[in-house]
Structure 1
Amino acid sequence: MKLHFRYRVILSVCFTKLSVLMYRKYGIFIFFCSLVIVALLLAACNTKTSDASPTLKTPPSTLSPVAAGVQRLIVLPDDGPDAVLELIDGAQKSIRFKIYLLTYYDARAALIRAANRGVDVRVLIEKELTGGGASNAESYQILQEGGVHVKWAPKTFRLVHEKSLVIDDLQAMIATYNFTNSSFSRNREYAVITTQPDVVADVATIFDADWSGEGILLDKKTPLVVSPENSRQRLLQLIDGANASLWLEQSTLLDDEIVERLLTAVNRGVAVRFIGPNRGDDDVAYENLQKLADAGADVGRLGTPYVHAKVILSDDSLAFVGSENMTFSSLNLNRELGIVTKDKAIVDRLRDSIIQDWKHVKQVTSTVVLSTPEGVLDWEEAELHVGQVVTVEGKIVRGYDSGKVTLLNFDQDYHNTLTVVIFPSLYDQFPQPPARYFDGHTVRVTGEVKLYEGAPEIVIESASQIEMLDAPSRASASADVSTRAGPGIDTSKLDAENGADGISWQKAGDYLGQEVAVKGEVVRTYNSGKVTFLNFDQSWKGKFSVVIFASDYPKFPESPDGFYLNKTIVVTGTVKEYKGAPEIIVDNPGQIQIVEGDGTSRDLVTPAEHGGVVAWQDAAAYVGQTITVEGRIVQSKDIGSMTFLDFSKQKNSFVAIVWADDYDKFSQPPARLYANKKVWITGEIVLYKGKPEIIIRDPRQVEVFD
């Protein structure tokens, strides 16, 4: 029988305590007899049976569901080194640290501090680095002289490439990164921090086995992915099990079997996305990346940050994070460690990070020449022709101008359906701003269908690519009612009913496609977080609504759902139909007037009425008001869930905040985009824990001056 290491320790402690009690009660002779019994029992526990492996320790792991709050994801370089250094500095009893490359001064210093305060620090480090081991030799000597127990990794493996840390047998870190300056400051890296007891115990047991030069046996249910024992099998299972999507952010792609399984996934309809580092023409993995792109996968190469990550996200529900590269050596010859988790917080943050990185990749384009379909397609067919030049036709139901780009959509579900994209350099080729000009009209668009964040789009590079098939009802700049109604429309009914205050909301459905003023009392509002609905009847389904999208909230002095509730308003705009009900989309507070009790109306207060631009130091004097604040961003920090734009390094001073949900509206990560820039920021001043701040929900709220 060979008893597990942890159980031998527990047995030893128990019998030692028993021996002390025997000594106190019966004297020294009985005490020594007890010690002999302890030694014999422990020896028996180590006896090997004839059919047992002489070098195996067996982790007792079983894969149990991940409990809430026991795992979290570190994202580098966003989070910086503090989270990891705090783990080391917080150790009270023991540290097990296994690493391929260690040159980071602060990490070495933290390990030595821990040893000096009595923590049992053991470091297992690779000696034979690819390209030479001088850096690790220096770290080995520094740690050893500092009182740390350090060993060279066993030669059982080609390389010990694992990056793991176990603190006090209570926390474990499983990472993609080495402990170097570039890892914490320039690389895209990830790590899972877990307190799940069986996982922590397994990582510790693997360390102990490698420390003593023994082997391991893995439970089939373990969430750990370990080379050379099970990495290939587990990663192939993860790839083969994907049904809808498979996203990989990897430092390389050289394993033939992995490539074949990814191609198979593409062929069975899985949306495969691969992000790797941009190594230029010297990338030995480029041939495999091109194979994926030719098969229909989204493949991109990222310049900054440098991709050293090794992660997979399957079906937006299962995540792998580890040290395993997609190479034969990594999967079959090295010591590597990773973990598969379904923890929602980890999955969500990993997905958001990959989405952000994809926005900045240089995409690998397919070399396959596709035939162009003949004739005009319905816009809904565009997604079937990615990579092809097609002509599509449909009605634009939503036009949105962010200030940096115009998006024309054929469906209100614009996140998942075809979008026509027009950049400002082309605006002067149209008689009006494109968002307004094409909104509500049937168009025919010709261009190459591409994917952006999984949705099809056609980018317009010339006005000749888009043709309006119905006459514009707003071609004239005249504001009289007959012109707004459009050519060929009998306006006598509109003239009679419109009057000075507008038509009744109940009659709005009679004026589809026309620009009118509609009057009524708002008796119900609903804010979904993405859109606000103003309703004029409690039984709102199938009846007229006013629609305000979240991207336009900052233009209003208060949240529209609360501001307009129980008020009588006159709203001006084009009446459209959505799912059988009439609506007007409002993208500017100037479209809405509030009718006072005496029948007069007033416009919404605008920022200009608060005296123009104020210095950031004076922002606290305008709490509850929408103003424009002026200053220079002296510090910007992205913590993953939000970005802080600080105008001073002093606490409790004014700050602007951008939530992670809005990052995709900006051309670059906000922390980078606005760093050290002089800006005007417009929005409502609110207090959070006594500190004034503005929430930036749209880049149009910010004007940069340098």
Structure 2
Amino acid sequence: MSRKGTRRLLAVAVTAGATLLADALPAHAAGYSAFAFNLGTTEPTVYSFINSATRTLDMTMYELSDTTAVNDLIARKKAGVTVRVILDRTKTSVNGSAYSSLKAAGVGVVYSSSSYVYTHQKTITVDGATSMILTGNLTSKYYPTSRDYGVVDSDANDVAAVERVFGADYAHTSVTPGDGDNLLWSPTDSRSRLLAVVNGATRTLDVEEEEFSDSAVVDAIAARAAAGVKVRVVLETPGSYASEVAQIDDAGGTVRGYSSSTGFYIHAKAIVADYGLATQKVEAGSMNITSNSLDSNRELGIILTDSGVASTIETALNSDYAGGTPA
């Protein structure tokens, strides 16, 4: 889920490589772009995206505890933008302040449906034209130490699919998500879509994950290593996944981990297969590699061949792998 326990505190310097950042394209530019969270006290790329909305803004967020983001949403409402927000109903201790502030300002804000164990999705859509799909929450106290990514997507079919699901989830009505051109959703097709990315790797497979326990996906990653694919995994608290780590190691892959209670934290959920090759694919989204995340939550991710998106994620992932401890 989000973070395990309360051990994630503000704090500390990070390795130089952990500050890598690629700026997102303007909100309405065609195509795709990506950025790494900037490991500062704010996330200006996210704020700029929110402030680009001129007509509508729809946000689904597992955790929203960022005064700047909340104030920006309220400012958009005051500017005449129709703002709607879904917050996870189980995280009222985190989301309560934002919920109250948004409600008082006349923003349309609801808690998520009980149809899902968690609404763990992290997405912002502006003007029905561009969606930002995030691996990280808008929880400012974690910004300085968390590895997370965002992908900006202006593919019309993707955005239409995101908006259709948002409308149903906002109204607490049932919906079968569509994938548009590039999406994957929980609890519908995320596992099969992740497996397609993993199984399609022919030369290299790089995985960066906070949680790592779904047997089908872990088995597939190990199978790629056993088949001769160069597999690298960057993992938070690898000690929590000892059998899965051993499985990857035994198959010929390598795992690097982070486990400081106050330092650099792998919150990202991303996969890069065959980087730089014609068969390249990159996936990023909210879903962890766990059965609960894939089968029981509302989650959203994106799979692309885009070289810019792949480069942004692979560059940061390389840095994180180099800085991790062998598991």
With the length of structure 2 as denominator, give the TM-score of the two structures: 0.85
The match for 1:91 among 12, 33, 53 is: 53
Q: Return the alpha-carbon distance in structure 2 between the equivalents of residues 90 and 352 of structure 1.
A: 28
Superposed CA offset, 1:320-372 (max 9, x none): 010000000000000000000111111112111111111111012xxxxxxxx
Task: Output the amino acid matched with 1:255.
Answer: D
Q: What displacement does 1:290 show?
A: 2.4
Unaligned stretches of 5+ residues in structure 2: 1-28
Confirm or deny that 1:244 pairs with 2:200: no
Confirm or deny: 8 A CA contact 2:223 2:251 kept in the other structure.
no
Q: What displacement does 1:97 show?
A: 0.3
Superposed CA offset, 1:264-288 (max 9, x none): 11111111110012x37xx422321
Superposed CA offset, 1:546-599 (max 9, x none): xxxxxxxxxxxxxxxxxxxxxxxxxxxxxxxxxxxxxxxxxxxxxxxxxxxxxx
Q: Return the alpha-carbon distance in structure 1 between the equivalents of residues 241 and 145 of structure 2.
A: 21
The match for 1:314 among 273, 285, 298 is: 273
Match of 1:334 in 2: 297
Confirm or deny that 1:100 pairs with 2:100: no
The match for 1:289 among 239, 245, 266 is: 245
Q: What displacement does 1:69 show?
A: 5.4
Q: Return the alpha-carbon distance in structure 2 between the equivalents of residues 182 and 255 of structure 1.
A: 29
Match of 1:427 in 2: none
With the length of structure 1 as denominator, give the TM-score of the two structures: 0.40
Q: What displacement does 1:93 show?
A: 0.7
Q: What displacement does 1:219 show?
A: 4.6
Q: Return the alpha-carbon distance in structure 2 between the equivalents of residues 77 and 363 of structure 1.
A: 25
Confirm or deny that 1:204 pairs with 2:166: no
The match for 1:71 among 23, 29, 32 is: 32
Q: Return the alpha-carbon distance in structure 2 between the equivalents of residues 284 and 141 of structure 1.
A: 36
Name the SS for the 2:148 alignment partner. strand
Q: Return the alpha-carbon distance in structure 1 between the equivalents of residues 177 and 130 of structure 2.
A: 20
Q: Return the alpha-carbon distance in structure 2 between the equivalents of residues 323 and 160 of structure 1.
A: 10
Percent identity between the aligned chains? 27
Q: Return the alpha-carbon distance in structure 2 between the equivalents of residues 220 and 160 of structure 1.
A: 18
Name the SS for the 2:138 alignment partner. coil
Unaligned stretches of 5+ residues in structure 1: 1-67, 365-706
Superposed CA offset, 1:59-102 (max 9, x none): xxxxxxxxx95111010135851111011112111110001011
Q: Return the alpha-carbon distance in structure 2 between the equivalents of residues 324 and 290 of structure 1.
A: 23
Distance 1:220 1:226, change over 3 A: closer
Match of 1:324 in 2: 287
Higher-Rg member (1/2): 1
Match of 2:26 in 1: none
Q: Return the alpha-carbon distance in structure 2 between the equivalents of residues 153 and 297 of structure 1.
A: 39
Match of 1:347 in 2: 310
Name the SS for the 2:149 alignment partner. strand
Q: Return the alpha-carbon distance in structure 2 between the equivalents of residues 355 and 260 of structure 1.
A: 23
Confirm or deny that 1:118 pairs with 2:80: yes
Confirm or deny: 8 A CA contact 2:209 2:268 kept in the other structure.
yes
Q: How many residues align?
A: 291
Name the SS for the 2:197 alignment partner. helix
Superposed CA offset, 1:616-659 (max 9, x none): xxxxxxxxxxxxxxxxxxxxxxxxxxxxxxxxxxxxxxxxxxxx
Q: Return the alpha-carbon distance in structure 2 between the equivalents of residues 252 and 153 of structure 1.
A: 23
Confirm or deny that 1:193 pairs with 2:152: yes
Q: Return the alpha-carbon distance in structure 1 between the equivalents of residues 59 and 178 of structure 2.
A: 23
Superposed CA offset, 1:23-57 (max 9, x none): xxxxxxxxxxxxxxxxxxxxxxxxxxxxxxxxxxx
Give structure 1 regions of 4+ aligned residues with deviation exceeding 4 angstroms: 218-221
Q: Return the alpha-carbon distance in structure 2 between the equivalents of residues 221 and 204 of structure 1.
A: 11
Name the SS for the 2:120 alignment partner. coil
Q: What displacement does 1:220 show?
A: 6.4
Q: Return the alpha-carbon distance in structure 2 between the equivalents of residues 261 and 70 of structure 1.
A: 30
Q: Return the alpha-carbon distance in structure 1 between the equivalents of residues 34 and 283 of structure 2.
A: 11
Match of 1:275 in 2: 234
Q: Return the alpha-carbon distance in structure 2 between the equivalents of residues 362 and 118 of structure 1.
A: 50
Q: What displacement does 1:218 show?
A: 4.2
Distance 1:123 1:89, change over 3 A: same
Confirm or deny: 8 A CA contact 1:73 1:191 kept in the other structure.
yes
Confirm or deny: 8 A CA contact 1:313 1:351 kept in the other structure.
yes
Name the SS for the 1:285 alignment partner. helix
Task: Output the amino acid matched with 1:345.
Answer: G
The match for 2:113 among 148, 151, 154 is: 154
Q: What displacement does 1:186 show?
A: 1.4
Q: What displacement does 1:217 show?
A: 3.3
Match of 1:447 in 2: none
